[in-house]
Amino acid sequence: MKYLFAAVMLASAVVGFSEAASAAGGCGPGWYRGPYGGCRPMRGPVVVAPGPVVVAPPVVVVRPRVCPYGFRWYAGRCRPF
């Protein structure tokens, strides 16, 4: 009886692994899982023609105020001037 049980377990494991390999992530052939788990179609390589190189000017970002007016950030917290 235990040999029959072992044979059934082995057969079910082989069938289970072969099904999982051909499922392509559960989406089917020609599809793949996206970053949020949805199925997306596989696309071929994208070829972009070379064009002129445009250099963008540097972007200046103003740092937001951390402390209210009349205070400054010093030693890890907001302190009055």
CA angle 54, 59, 62 (to 5 degrees): 175
pTM for this one?
0.28
Is 29 within a domain? yes
At 21 the pLDDT is: 47
Is 45 within a domain? no
Provide the domain limits for residue 3.
Answer: 1-34
Is 75 within a domain? no
How far apart are the C-alpha atoms of 67 and 41, rounded to whole Å?
49
Q: Find residue 79's DSSP bridge partners.
A: 72
- Asked if 32 and 24 count as a contact pair (C-beta separation under 8 A), the reply is yes
The candidate with the shortest Cα–Cα distance to 76, out of 67, 64, 61, 68, is 67
At 63 the pLDDT is: 72
The count of structural domains within the chain is: 1
What residues of the chain score a pLDDT lower than 50?
20-21
At 58 the pLDDT is: 84
